Structure 1
């Protein structure tokens, strides 16, 4: 786990065409930033927590026109239990793994700031030779420092997710699109197709696909994939079904395909997601200001 605090001027930016092997959490305290993950984008202002899942090309920078961006950040392997907290804040249906949590009420900003400062202090708890007031980059060394810092991040994620208002469905969403979404959610394991969903709402496949994409922002099949992944995550969290049975119950043709897609979405295989296992030390791809290339991420 790596934690730091930056206050960057206009022109600052980081681009990682291969994404990262770890999750990235950012908490903005001043100015504005812009974060891009795959095909999704978020603008971060004070009081917003923006989270990027691993394995997807991403970039972030001071928002054009802003004078600076002041923010806390942490790279780590997220605990699987955090996923349900973040899920309501996914951009669109979240296939790119971008979550915008906020704005968090101003009354809680001091507590959020305290959680990040404790996280930073706990990450260097194992005796790193860094002055107490220095908010530079800290790499958690050893399991005690890592677990203490993760507890601080967990507090920040839960506090933000519990207090912010989840995005709501766009007003005026066509009832036929709502019905199609409800049909997918009610039975994600069914062999849905554009044609079958269109027939259920009395539209031609081409008209249905166009209407759905126009109103939701992505295709019906992309929405179905995310619905199936959400269903699979709930089964992994709440049952002892095998990965093969979870895949089948969620509408995936094979356990291999399911595992590949699930890992791309959540950053961990289905079995490890269920068990709460964290991968071994990985390496951060790309660099940030002040961060040495190849900083280990735990």
Structure 2
């Protein structure tokens, strides 16, 4: 769990530069004690780190986390950050990528927000680690593609850092990183679904996730799990930190985002298919959640902080 930050190992150089916004840069490092990076103004792009061995310590603003094997830690742009080999660890082996993230990733990462733009997607089951590793290898290879002939083989990854210069190379590299985001966020245990969650609350979550557009109410969800509406609403909010209707709205917005990404349905139809009776209300809450109206989201506007 993130805790208040204190100190990190000394940085390699004060104010280490970050790649310019718009570039897609991927790399693989195996660092020993003493390695650290400090950016007082943060970076202009998102930073994704996937730890494969050892232990790292990452701090963004006043929020800090320790990363072990199988942990994806994501830092949003524009916030001061530091990271390096964790104190006492013999090394830190990790993949990293700087890029302008796709808008659709916001919904996948937001449940894992720890504060100050830092996201900790963990733990992920060991069964998906090989596939995530393969996706990073493919990203490193695709970033080196010149657009002539076939992209380099993912096995030919002797280089530790690659910058995607061409449009096709950038998009291919981002596709590989998107697989990483989906695999980690989809397989990791959601913070709100960990041990200790009442089975009735978990069941209500499942009902919402199965059909977010259904006309769910506090009363209907409570009846489905054999609780009174007041007891259900109190228990749900107490255990998950948000009301049942807030959780329902988040599920509907997530569903709407998926429809905007994967279908050509008009925005009005997306609103109805996601459970929003009023297109005007849908546009307002969608903009509040994703920082842009549905039409701009579909067009692929920049991902905003979550």
Work out whether residues 15 and 60 of structure 1, in 8 Å CA contact, stay in contact via their aligned partners in 2.
yes
User: Which of the residues 84, 91, 101 maps onto 2:112?
Assistant: 91
Instruction: Give the Cα separation in 2 of the matches to 1:2 and 1:15.
Output: 17
User: Which of the residues 165, 177, 183 maps onto 2:201?
Assistant: 177
TM-score, normalization by structure 2:
0.58
Instruction: Give the Cα separation in 1 of the matches to 2:175 and 2:212.
Output: 36
User: Which of the residues 69, 72, 76 maps onto 2:92?
Assistant: 69
Superposition deviation, residue 191 in structure 1 = 7.5
Instruction: Give the Cα separation in 1 of the matches to 2:244 and 2:213.
Output: 12
The answer for the alignment partner of 1:167 in structure 2 is 189
Report 1 or 2 for greater relative contact order, CA contacts < 8 Å, sequence distance ≥ 6.
1
| Aligned 1:249-260 pairs, distance under 5 A | 249-251=274-276, 254-260=281-287
Which runs of no fewer than 5 residues in structure 2 stay unpaired?
A: 1-23, 149-156
TM-score, normalization by structure 1:
0.59
Instruction: Give the Cα separation in 2 of the matches to 1:56 and 1:244.
Output: 34
Work out whether residues 40 and 91 of structure 1, in 8 Å CA contact, stay in contact via their aligned partners in 2.
no
Q: Report Cα offsets for 1:85-143 as digits up to 9, x if no partner.
A: x9499538xx9865447344465576356335424534999xxxxxx96635x543342
User: Which of the residues 32, 36, 47 maps onto 1:24?
Assistant: 47
Q: How many residues get paired? A: 262
SS of 1:24's equivalent in the other structure is strand
User: Which of the residues 213, 224, 239 maps onto 2:248?
Assistant: 224
Superposition deviation, residue 218 in structure 1 = 4.5
Instruction: Give the Cα separation in 2 of the matches to 1:196 and 1:77.
Output: 41
Work out whether residues 37 and 97 of structure 1, in 8 Å CA contact, stay in contact via their aligned partners in 2.
no
Which runs of no fewer than 5 residues in structure 1 stay unpaired?
A: 126-131, 283-298
